[in-house]
Amino acid sequence: MAEAKGLFRRVFGGGETPAPVQETPEPAKAPKQSFFVRLRQGLARSSGALSEGITAIFTKRKLDEAALEDFEDMLIRADLGVDTAARIAKRLRETRFDKEVSDEEVKSVLADEIEAALTPVAKPLDIDESLKPHVILVVGVNGTGKTTTIGKLAAKFAAEGKSVMLAASDTFRAAAIEQLKIWGERTGATVIAGEQGADAAGLAFDALKQAKASAADVLIIDTAGRLQNKAELMAELEKILRVVRKLDPAAPHTVLMTLDATTGQNALNQVEIFGRQSGVTGLVMTKLDGTARGGILVAIAAKFGLPVHFIGVGEGVDDLEPFEAGDFAKALAGLQ
């Protein structure tokens, strides 16, 4: 009988209270860094190059014409553009000429002028909720991060409670189609896709038809990466525009162009060509964390005045954020 009781206790518990199990505490997670901190880290190469140039020019030296000329040349080499460089040099000439000037004073002027140049173009991407759907066409050259940007935008819209549909009209690359399907699974967005080599314009048409039928809030159309000097590929982009306008004459309501910050001055030519061919309405600047040429955004803003909706400083979903002129200016100038 005692043996039976012992067996019962071993199987079902009872008897002596077992010693408590010591649980190993989980390691504390590092707090999420603010986007400004990540932006400053991402722009470290750009701001570092500017800081080194400023230090080399102004250390123990009065602000004379030679120093101003060197400073202006440095800003142009940093891709800020001729007009912006001249304006910053003029500001220093008016306030500090023939006086000793510190690195921090120069950086402060630099940040102020960059912010002044960028504030007019720092605009949020507004989704018209009366449209079902609001159609966003995403364009750009190869390797600028179009498909990844689309996925990040889908995640943002989904988090806001919007229903999102994605059209995989980059039919040249099987990888792009699969990548968009993965983003659809992650974000809960419906993905309209065909086979590699399918007609991109026809797929965009079908996607808009389905988006209208389901009253989706947003339809984002991916497109194949194309060089701005390839006439046949640019003609295909024009065909996509013509086809979607058969269903909605006002579509696309937004034409977003992704720009790779590492391309520097070549980005100016890209914006000009794509703007003429597809009516670009706003920009997304990607890969700011991989370049010392972050100043190109200032030159683009000064030349074209197109809204800059988002900037990216990494691969994570949280690394695409609405563009803030003041934060960007401080980070680029190396201010805390």
Q: Is residue 310 classed as helix, strand or coil in its secondary structure? A: strand
Beta partners for residue 282, in sequence order:
256
Quote the pLDDT of residue 160.
Answer: 94
Quote the pLDDT of residue 10.
Answer: 43
The predicted-structure confidence for 130-168, as pLDDT tens digits, reads as follows: 999 999 999 998 888 899 999 999 999 999 999 999 999
10 Å CB burial of residue 305 (0-12, 13-18, 19+) is exposed
Which whole number is the average pLDDT over 311-328? 84
The predicted-structure confidence for 42-60, as pLDDT tens digits, reads as follows: 888 889 989 999 988 887 6
143 closest CA partner among 79, 227, 233: 227
**Which pLDDT band holds residue 302 (cuts at 50, 70, 90)?**
very high
Percentage of the chain with pLDDT > 90?
55
Beta partners for residue 312, in sequence order:
320
The predicted-structure confidence for 269-298, as pLDDT tens digits, reads as follows: 999 989 988 899 999 998 887 667 789 999
Quote the pLDDT of residue 60.
Answer: 65
The predicted-structure confidence for 209-239, as pLDDT tens digits, reads as follows: 999 999 999 999 999 876 655 667 778 889 9
Q: Which helix (H) or strand (E) holds 257?
A: strand 254-260
Question: Do 275 and 306 form a contact (C-beta atoms < 8 A)?
Answer: yes
- The pTM for the full model equals 0.84
The predicted-structure confidence for 81-95, as pLDDT tens digits, reads as follows: 999 999 999 999 998
10 Å CB burial of residue 318 (0-12, 13-18, 19+) is middle
The predicted-structure confidence for 11-24, as pLDDT tens digits, reads as follows: 334 444 444 444 44
